[in-house]
Structure 1
Amino acid sequence: MEGKTKLVAALERKAAELGFSAVGIAPADAAPETGRRLRAWLDSGAHGEMIWMEETAQRRGSPAALWPEVRSIVSLGMSYAPAGDPLALADRPDVGRISVYAQGADYHDVVKKGLKALARWLIEEAGKEGTTADLKVFVDTAPVMEKPLAEAAGIGWQGKHTNLVSRRDGSWLFLGAIYTTLELQPGQPHEVRCGRCSRCLDICPTAAFPAPFQLDARRCISYLTIEHKGPIPEEFRAALGNRIYGCDDCLAVCPWNRFADTARAHRAFLPRAELAAPSLADLLKLDDASFRNVFAGSPIKRIGRNRMVRNAAIAAGNSGLHELAEPLRKLVADEDETVAEAARWALARLGEPWLAP
């Protein structure tokens, strides 16, 4: 066991060198209630159009269901703690608000690169001890329940907003995992430290939390602006305000963020100037080519031009800015009916005719 402890200590140092601000280890059978809770959530329909959650539920329910040979989970977190207030643009109706996590480089690429480098190192170190190891690395898109595993590994806990909270990094962590056949010494699960605080629940503009530790994705602005493909239900449109990609409200108000040191944030996630406060007028003019150019290397590129322009049109309708009527009118007959409908709604909300006077 002593050798394993030295390996874990070396693993933590190497992870820090590679840009990870948090690392923990859990046994493969950690978080046994995950599968049951996932099934109950799916049965309630709260996942909305995220059909892949239903299709991968069995494999997602436990690490062994995905890979029977796994023995240990190395859970890792990479900080993207913002330097400024994520809610600062709430009173800027001329710009769109993009969630902090999407203002820099695509976290899928950055985290996976770090995970692969750490996995290669771990195989080499295990080999020095005469141990053969198999590993698999996962970031977000795989059927892995990163948050319960991170809690079991001691990185943090799932807060009342269902996201991971860290005592060192607040709510600003990208999570990844390395599954391995190695028997690594596990850490201790993290206890929940939300106490009586309900700030994350109280601030939600669309009441997406039916109860603490429960999320109805169908009401969540992040889901509506990113995952939802069709027209956004009218009951939520005003609440979107100028949010065009994601929502940081429940994360931004967490008191634990006061301990999040921006110096630990990975430099790849520093905001790009064109994504920090994009002009709604410019976003409304995007075609496919310009969308790909603006959002190259960003996770935003995954939603495509139509969803982004749909979101921008709704934000324009909420802005009260009549100068946005002109670019909106050009979208009334857009080839994508969802975009066209959003533009017509926005013009009606602004009290503007569809055709130029």
Structure 2
Amino acid sequence: MQVRRLLGTIILIAGTLLLIFSIGLSIIFGVSDISLGTVWNSIFHYDATNTSHQIIQRLRLPRTVAAVLIGAMLAASGAIMQGMTRNPLASPQIMGVTSGATFMIAIALVFLPGLSNVHLLFFAFAGAGLGLGLVFGVGLLARTGLTPVKLALAGTAITALLGSFSNALAIHFDVARDLSFWYAGGVANVQWDTVKLLFPAAVIGMILALFISGSVTTLSLGEDVATGLGLKTSAVKIAGVLVVLILTGAAVSVGGTIGFIGLVIPHITRFIVGPDYRWIIPCSAILGGILLNFADILSRMVNPPFETPVGALTALIGVPFFIYLARREGKNI
């Protein structure tokens, strides 16, 4: 146990340093490379007439902050989902949360065009709840109950269904171009006004996640064991779902469909720090922010001056990992 805590402390400290390093790289690298001195001056001695200062302040800084926050939010919500359901395949994308949020955003674009980012955020929250509710509803229809793979299959089916509805709406009402941003996934066009909406959701969601982390650890032992230990499992599940909806809904409303961070990062973290979610959740948040920020940097370098969708890069890591987990858990079907 002491070794696990030491490893968790190392991840938090070293991860924070690596995160700061990645933030520096994200601000420096782009279509036009900028020196560290220019970055420093743009932050502490901003000159509105300097083009490089404007690029840093208006484009790269909000983009970098959004990438870090979204990565942290998706990883933390994935960790909570895996802990509550005892399902190693659980993640916001696989469990229908992301597709539900995108579906409701499509409805908003079609029937309520011109909505502000604040209103889109609420639509994303509602969609995240819809997707998650449908997945568990379909999964509960299984005769032998919910196994990890059956829950994942239900999530895959609901994701495909909601994705089809979203595509149909986009094509019929000619909003495919607007909706394509959420499908591609990324933070290229994020501005400070969007970050101001994302930041409170991230702070509130992470505080709540840390608050219930000990209860999630107990719940991950099994519902019977948790009940025997005096845990109010229903209250913990409701709180956990609320946290997932806050974190994922806000992340999708800003960054679109960025998959597999919530699947891969919690597994890596759990392997290092052990089963205690008081360590898994904060460490996952740090590593998730690092992964998405580096993925965003790579998206600018693959095919310059064009950008590769960040969602495609995270999928390169996540899809093989998902297949591996599905094969490993297949015996539980």
Q: TM-score range by the shorter chain?
A: under 0.3
Q: TM-score, normalised by structure 1?
A: 0.22
Q: Which has the bigger relative contact order, CA under 8 A and spacing at least 6?
A: 2
Q: TM-score, normalised by structure 2?
A: 0.23
Structure whose CA Rg is larger: 1
